[in-house]
Chains A and B, each alone.
Chain A
């Protein structure tokens, strides 16, 4: 296929640079400077997709972000697939591979068209709610059907090979849009010395001027653009972003910009380059110069390929040197669109007629059309287009003054292109993102930005100031206003002279009547992407949907990636008319971020793969890796889980590790436990307030276990705190709870008790902690220290400073296994040295490294809880059977005391933590299993509590478990049953959670 619609001259394309691309498997050619859309039109490609519900063939309608139909899947390889790319926004590059998103088996011969005709009837407005509500079982069928039909695009199956990036920016003035208003605003701010960012979605700056034949200072507008761009580039503090879509305008003048850095040049970013970058901008002032989108008119079969928005036709001619047809009919309600007829005529093509809904159009452009001998049919409208895969003719009829009824004979005219204009809709999307409600402006027949609390200014067509002269003026005044807020001096800026074009008054027209009522007329599409018709909107209104937000949701108008750019105003106008009210009374839906689809790559940036989340390693991590440890994530920490040897299964490893600890000696890397250094004369009193037990008498050199509760009395953390000196303590927390506990201490200190002199410092990373545990742990420690660690000199719950393996250490005689244990703390960078020294001397004692899983089993054998596993925020210390850790006599009402005395907290039948001894010792209860007292009760059975911890204990040669049972502490010896999903019912005896060494003799040696 040749570029049969390409013009010989004109446009901002480079005819010397031919580019080859693939579209639906066919090789086509375009030029540098083309978009995918302009290249497709140049090649005479009419159909670019099939519609969502009705599977109708669709062509390119627009030339920018508002394009509803040409939604492409782009990518030469599986890994570089990008779905939902608008052909109008994708720059052409050599080797580009694009395909239509929907259309099956191909867009040209779409089998779905026949299905779609059924589907269309199946899917009136509200079909999600009506048709697909029942039966539920068919949802899978519906969903796959909808997905197939809807052309949602396809995510790549392989990993994206490109690099994406994020960048934080700060500026004085952020200018969105580089049309005439934006360029003048940027130039003014730049000359004043402001830090400026100007971003535009297009491949070059210039906005509307790029597609217009207007002159500035008597010369082509392109010359003025080039001079401004050149000057802007000379400022160090001006950042110019092309191919950059400002997609979100968030609170406090925070904007997100998606910059396409390389994906307009190649399928993959060149080696080492960033494909896309997300700029996160904090701007002191924002100037929105986002322009306007032309509104098409709504008429019968207005979706047949060849039906386009008027200005898009001009853009393809003037900017890309493409005339997308031969015979044009232009339908308009305003003067401005006459430009399209002039451009078409001047490109040497045939203007069949201008169909003007107004009775007596007058103005410079109307005169120019008459001078060219273009036929103008006044007081008329195109009521219907004919053709299936391309427009072949149109029906034109005279309209009444209001434009809502056909009042004369229909004339049929041959044409392959219908361009329409119902006026312009300001692009107010960004101004809505922070919650401002748009305001209807009768003078321009459109919504303009509403009042905002953002430091936001607007300039140009977004305000309904559609002429170039007004855009330039408003760009200047917006910049000057920003500069005055910024206390910068306004510089000299002279604006270029614009052409004097007089335009007559436009007519408020949105929906062209047909001879048949709307419900019977050929489909009149309002929202192409979602297949919403005028009849659908009228039906929704008749069915009682009066709020425009409800109409939107019922019909799907403005949904998805479209966000109502093209059709929203027409839809509201039709709804308003049906409801017999004005457009401002009907109101508008609110546009949400993002303005156009953003790739996941840009959102994710570098935060993927190895950089997805930070990882924390202990000082001994390399040893664990060398010794084959399996790791588990605890918070951000990588903790050894267990150390398999040879062909061991996990359970075999755990059995070996568990036995080794109780038989001789094991070692655990406990460095990850949170450690908070607490100092100050009120430190002791503070501990008494945040822990449930007493701290007044804890002597220097002693350690104590404490429970931390919320004001509701529920346990949220636990740990051992040691008295290092009279006013100096070391608190340990759970690994995952460390940050929360520190903030907890701070909030009480800072907001409730600021008079207390106490300081908290996280020292978790400062210390490497290794716990040696087992009957031979003392003998092992003695080999590395000269300090007397005998029972007499160092009793259980003592801590002593000493030298271990030549390194200063704090050694704590605390135990989480129930065995004789020493927790050795050394400065973190000595950790690996001491760890290795322990192993050198540990051979004689079969020193066995164990991980978190063995730690869990050993503590469960002893009935020690793990906060967060055996607690869930709904249990207080008494529920845990830990009344010994609560001191109700403390003078200060500690945090949790009042909460745990509430009526509900003192019920006798609360769920209480107990031991669970399965009747069959070989059965290990699943954690989370729900207990019942009567397994024969009818379903739903009354549940009495769940299993929180359950393991196989090699030491006891049976299972051990803990769990909650209602009133369990008074049910010792009674039975509880656990019906499992596989049908088994496990019977267990309620017992003390201390399965091993109930008197604690093993740790007191």
Chain B
């Protein structure tokens, strides 16, 4: 059972207070109507399942009800860091892995895309 530091409550709490809400940094496309079915399908359903570093969205559901991100090693279950929505992770898998993970936009890595969009929404 995880021991999770909530960046909003600023303390460690037991996993029972939290819910995992899936992979982090999946921004809703800004113009859904312009998406093809394939793009919309990617957005809705396609998620990474890495062995190793993974960025996850969690919510402190039985606490402050705030969402935040966790970088977790899916193999050792270590929580490498927690960070608020709109912030970027400082622990990332190596670049090759990121590029192979899935493709959204040609020139940038998906992570860069998602982070830009995420922080854009936050500002």
Give the residue name and chain of the B residue nearest to A436 (CB).
Answer: B76
Q: Does B59 contact A (CB under 8 A)?
A: yes
Q: Does B104 contact A (CB under 8 A)?
A: no
Q: Does B96 contact A (CB under 8 A)?
A: no
Q: Does A282 contact B (CB under 8 A)?
A: yes
CB < 8 Å neighbour of A747 from B40, B67, B78, B122: B67
Q: Does B86 contact A (CB under 8 A)?
A: yes
Range, interface on chain B: 35 or more
CB < 8 Å neighbour of B77 from A252, A753, A755: A252
Contact digits for B60-80, partner A, Cβ 8 Å, 1 yes 0 no: 010001110000010111110
User: With a CB–CB cut-off of 8 A, which chain B residues contact A543?
Assistant: none
Q: Quick check: which of B31-39, B87-95, B105-113 contacts chain A, the rest being far away?
A: B31-39
Q: Are B35 and A898 in contact (CB under 8 A)?
A: yes
CB B17 to nearest CB in A, in angstroms, measures: 12
Give the residue name and chain of the A residue nearest to B121 (CB).
Answer: A752
Q: Are A754 and B1 in contact (CB under 8 A)?
A: no
CB < 8 Å neighbour of B85 from A434, A751, A755: A751
Q: Are A252 and B31 in contact (CB under 8 A)?
A: no
User: With a CB–CB cut-off of 8 A, which chain A residues contact B28?
Assistant: 711, 752
Give the residue name and chain of the A residue nearest to B24 (CB).
Answer: A751
Give the residue name and chain of the A residue nearest to B1 (CB).
Answer: A254
User: With a CB–CB cut-off of 8 A, which chain A residues contact B46?
Assistant: none
Tell me the complex Cα distance, A434–B77, Å.
9
On chain A, the number of residues with a Cβ less than 8 Å from chain B's Cβ atoms is 27
CB B22 to nearest CB in A, in angstroms, measures: 10
Q: Are A893 and B37 in contact (CB under 8 A)?
A: no
CB B100 to nearest CB in A, in angstroms, measures: 25
CB A988 to nearest CB in B, in angstroms, measures: 35
Give the residue name and chain of the B residue nearest to A248 (CB).
Answer: B1
Q: Are A893 and B32 in contact (CB under 8 A)?
A: yes
Contact digits for A511-550, partner B, Cβ 8 Å, 1 yes 0 no: 0000000000000000000000000000000000000000
User: With a CB–CB cut-off of 8 A, which chain A residues contact B121?
Assistant: 751-755
Give the residue name and chain of the A residue nearest to B68 (CB).
Answer: A750
Q: Does B57 contact A (CB under 8 A)?
A: yes
Q: Does B10 contact A (CB under 8 A)?
A: no
State whether A453 and B66 are in contact (beta carbons under 8 Å apart), knowing that A743-B61, A754-B122 are contacts in the complex: no
Tell me the complex Cα distance, A168–B43, Å.
41
CB < 8 Å neighbour of A746 from B32, B59, B123: B59
CB-contacts of A450-466 with B (<8 A):
453
Q: Are A453 and B76 in contact (CB under 8 A)?
A: yes
CB A905 to nearest CB in B, in angstroms, measures: 10
Give the residue name and chain of the A residue nearest to B27 (CB).
Answer: A752
Q: Are B35 and A751 in contact (CB under 8 A)?
A: no
Contact digits for B3-26, partner A, Cβ 8 Å, 1 yes 0 no: 100000000001000010100000
Give the residue name and chain of the B residue nearest to A752 (CB).
Answer: B28
Q: Are B40 and A254 in contact (CB under 8 A)?
A: no
State whether A251 and B27 are in contact (beta carbons under 8 Å apart), knowing that A453-B78, A755-B121, A893-B33 are contacts in the complex: no
Q: Are B61 and A902 in contact (CB under 8 A)?
A: no
State whether A897 and B1 are in contact (beta carbons under 8 Å apart), knowing that A743-B59, A743-B61 are contacts in the complex: no
Interface centre among B28, B61, B86 (most CB of A within 10 A): B28
State whether A754 and B61 are in contact (beta carbons under 8 Å apart), knowing that A250-B1, A712-B44, A899-B40 are contacts in the complex: no
Contact digits for A724-745, partner B, Cβ 8 Å, 1 yes 0 no: 0000000000000000000100
Q: Are A746 and B67 in contact (CB under 8 A)?
A: yes
CB A61 to nearest CB in B, in angstroms, measures: 35
Q: Are B43 and A711 in contact (CB under 8 A)?
A: yes
Tell me the complex Cα distance, A460–B115, Å.
49
Q: Is the interface of B mostly helix, strand, loop or mixed?
A: mixed
Tell me the complex Cα distance, A752–B66, Å.
13
CB < 8 Å neighbour of A711 from B3, B37, B44, B57: B44
Q: Does A903 contact B (CB under 8 A)?
A: yes
CB B78 to nearest CB in A, in angstroms, measures: 5
Q: Are A751 and B44 in contact (CB under 8 A)?
A: no
CB < 8 Å neighbour of B21 from A168, A747, A754, A898: A747
State whether A251 and B57 are in contact (beta carbons under 8 Å apart), knowing that A752-B28, A899-B44 are contacts in the complex: no
CB A452 to nearest CB in B, in angstroms, measures: 9
Q: Are A751 and B40 in contact (CB under 8 A)?
A: no
Q: Does A213 contact B (CB under 8 A)?
A: no
CB B91 to nearest CB in A, in angstroms, measures: 14
CB < 8 Å neighbour of B57 from A751, A753, A754: A751
User: With a CB–CB cut-off of 8 A, which chain B residues contact A903?
Assistant: 37
User: With a CB–CB cut-off of 8 A, which chain A residues contact B67?
Assistant: 746-747, 750-751
Q: Are A252 and B1 in contact (CB under 8 A)?
A: yes
User: With a CB–CB cut-off of 8 A, which chain B residues contact A746?
Assistant: 59, 65, 67
User: With a CB–CB cut-off of 8 A, which chain B residues contact A902?
Assistant: 37, 40-41
State whether A254 and B37 are in contact (beta carbons under 8 Å apart), knowing that A712-B44, A897-B32 are contacts in the complex: no
Q: Does A435 contact B (CB under 8 A)?
A: yes
User: With a CB–CB cut-off of 8 A, which chain B residues contact A282?
Assistant: 3, 14
User: With a CB–CB cut-off of 8 A, which chain A residues contact B37?
Assistant: 902-903
State whether A747 and B2 are in contact (beta carbons under 8 Å apart), knowing that A754-B85, A897-B32 are contacts in the complex: no
Contact digits for A234-262, partner B, Cβ 8 Å, 1 yes 0 no: 00000000000000001111100000000
User: With a CB–CB cut-off of 8 A, which chain B residues contact A752?
Assistant: 27-28, 121
State whether A893 and B66 are in contact (beta carbons under 8 Å apart), knowing that A711-B43, A712-B44 are contacts in the complex: no
User: With a CB–CB cut-off of 8 A, which chain B residues contact A751?
Assistant: 57, 67, 85, 118, 121
User: With a CB–CB cut-off of 8 A, which chain B residues contact A743?
Assistant: 19, 59, 61, 65
State whether A251 and B1 are in contact (beta carbons under 8 Å apart), knowing that A752-B27, A754-B121, A893-B32 are contacts in the complex: yes
CB A261 to nearest CB in B, in angstroms, measures: 23
Tell me the complex Cα distance, A755–B85, Å.
12
CB B14 to nearest CB in A, in angstroms, measures: 8
Tell me the complex Cα distance, A902–B57, Å.
27
Tell me the complex Cα distance, A897–B67, Å.
25
State whether A251 and B77 are in contact (beta carbons under 8 Å apart), knowing that A711-B44, A750-B85 are contacts in the complex: yes
Tell me the complex Cα distance, A898–B66, Å.
27
User: With a CB–CB cut-off of 8 A, which chain A residues contact B77?
Assistant: 251-252, 434-435, 453
User: With a CB–CB cut-off of 8 A, which chain B residues contact A253?
Assistant: 3
Tell me the complex Cα distance, A252–B41, Å.
36
Contact digits for A868-905, partner B, Cβ 8 Å, 1 yes 0 no: 00000000000000000000000001000111001100
CB A899 to nearest CB in B, in angstroms, measures: 7
Tell me the complex Cα distance, A755–B33, Å.
22
CB A145 to nearest CB in B, in angstroms, measures: 39
State whether A251 and B40 are in contact (beta carbons under 8 Å apart), knowing that A747-B21, A747-B59 are contacts in the complex: no
Q: Are A893 and B31 in contact (CB under 8 A)?
A: yes
Tell me the complex Cα distance, A661–B35, Å.
49
Q: Are A898 and B1 in contact (CB under 8 A)?
A: no
Tell me the complex Cα distance, A752–B79, Å.
24
User: With a CB–CB cut-off of 8 A, which chain A residues contact B3?
Assistant: 252-254, 282
Tell me the complex Cα distance, A252–B16, Å.
14
Give the residue name and chain of the B residue nearest to A746 (CB).
Answer: B65
Tell me the complex Cα distance, A253–B2, Å.
9
Tell me the complex Cα distance, A285–B8, Å.
26
Among all A-B residue pairs, the 10 with the closest Cβ atoms: A898-B32, A252-B3, A893-B32, A453-B76, A251-B77, A750-B67, A254-B1, A902-B37, A453-B78, A752-B28
Question: CB within 8 Å of A: which residues of B?
Answer: 1-3, 14, 19, 21, 27-28, 31-33, 35, 37, 40-41, 43-44, 57, 59, 61, 65-67, 73, 75-79, 85-86, 118, 121-123
Given contacts A435-B77, A893-B32, 13 further A-B contacts (CB under 8 A): A168-B14, A282-B14, A434-B77, A712-B44, A743-B59, A746-B67, A747-B67, A751-B118, A751-B121, A754-B85, A754-B121, A754-B122, A893-B31
Question: CB within 8 Å of B: which residues of A?
Answer: 168, 250-254, 282, 434-435, 453, 711-712, 743, 746-747, 750-755, 893, 897-899, 902-903
Instruction: Show 28 residue pairs from A and B whose CB-CB distance is below 8 angstroms, ordered by the A residue.
Output: A168-B14, A251-B2, A252-B1, A252-B79, A253-B3, A254-B1, A282-B3, A282-B14, A435-B75, A453-B76, A453-B77, A453-B78, A711-B40, A743-B19, A743-B61, A747-B59, A751-B67, A752-B27, A752-B28, A752-B121, A754-B121, A754-B122, A755-B121, A755-B123, A898-B32, A899-B40, A899-B44, A902-B40
